[in-house]
Amino acid sequence: MDTGVSVITNPTVSVRMTSTLNDFEVNRRFDRGITIAEFKSKLELVIGCPAASMDLQLFSTSDKFLQNLEDNEALLGSYPVDDNCRIHVIDRTGSLTGAFSDLSKVEKFEISDEAYAKRADSLRSFKKNMKIGRFNEENMAKHEEAMAKKEEEEKAALDLITVGKRCQVQTTGQPTKVGTVMFVGTTDFKPGYWVGVKYDEPLGKNDGSVNGKRYFECEPKYGAFVKPLFVTVGDFPEEDYGLEEM
């Protein structure tokens, strides 16, 4: 016999909360036995909107609009509020809409580089006084000297590497790889000198192209670009992996 009594086995419900105040979605669990007025009071801490200016809309778990939660005296559980449904809070005042998510409305402080350089309380001034980074002339000189030395070493190594030669590649933290030199020179993806290698095994990262520009041809995962100092050319015959025809 239908008694008209609905039995709720779980006294609480987990709902997704959204609002007109921001683009965030939060998940909270509430007691089904509280009134809508009490529910709004709890939402003040979650959403940041005064209870008196709230309008509530109930959406299904698939975000289909169901109804408005208009009766402040009704219990939350008297509405079809199920786990993972969504309740959207509308701020009727509209005064804070997008205030915390729309950065285009935030007034930006701008200052010219000349004016910034004259400020004594800036990060640039602090680094300059403490001789940090590019303001440490001694360290910058050492850095430039080290970079110049490395570039000379790369050029010297590059003179020994020509396209078509067999090579061995030894990079830090990687196993030794054997292949054929396919490219030597500069690239668009990074500054400096690079050596393009086609490995004998699929141990590479590309097919001879990077960012849409092709430097040489090979099968996918067989190609790689390495710095000249990691490449040694010589007599490195291709290994026999036991794939002879029977």
Q: Which residues contact 132 (CB under 8 A, 6 or more apart)?
A: 126
> At 242, is the pLDDT very low, low, confident or very high (cuts 50, 70, 90)?
low
State which residues form the domain around 71: 12-91
With tokens 């403490």, the residue in question is 130
Query: How many domains, in total, are found in the chain?
Result: 2
Domain annotation covers residue 179 = yes
Domain annotation covers residue 212 = yes
Neighbour-count burial of 65, counting CB atoms closer than 10 A to its CB (0-12 exposed, 13-18 middle, 19+ buried): exposed
> Where does a domain end: 91, 123, 154?
91
The reply to whether the predicted model has a pTM over 0.95 is no
Closest CA to 222 of 157, 185, 169: 169
At residue 187, the pLDDT reads: 94
> Where does a domain end: 36, 71, 91?
91
CA 114/CA 104 separation, integer angstroms? 26
Contact 57, 69 (CB under 8 A): yes
> Where does a domain end: 39, 60, 91?
91
Domain annotation covers residue 39 = yes
Domain annotation covers residue 194 = yes
Contact 236, 177 (CB under 8 A): no
Domain annotation covers residue 124 = no
φ, ψ (nearest 5 deg) of residue 79: -95, 160
Domain annotation covers residue 173 = yes
CA 191/CA 165 separation, integer angstroms? 24
CA 134/CA 140 separation, integer angstroms? 6
Identify the bridge partners of residue 16 per DSSP, sorted by sequence position.
27, 86
Contact 194, 162 (CB under 8 A): no
CA 169/CA 175 separation, integer angstroms? 9
User: Percent of the chain at pLDDT above 90?
Assistant: 48
pLDDT digits (tens, 9 = 90+) for 72-95: 999 999 999 999 999 999 988 765
pLDDT digits (tens, 9 = 90+) for 149-188: 888 888 888 888 999 999 999 988 889 999 999 999 999 9
Residue 182: give its domain's CATH number: 2.30.30.190
Domain annotation covers residue 192 = yes
Residue 41: give its domain's CATH number: 3.10.20.90
Identify the bridge partners of residue 168 per DSSP, sorted by sequence position.
178, 232
CA 93/CA 230 separation, integer angstroms? 65
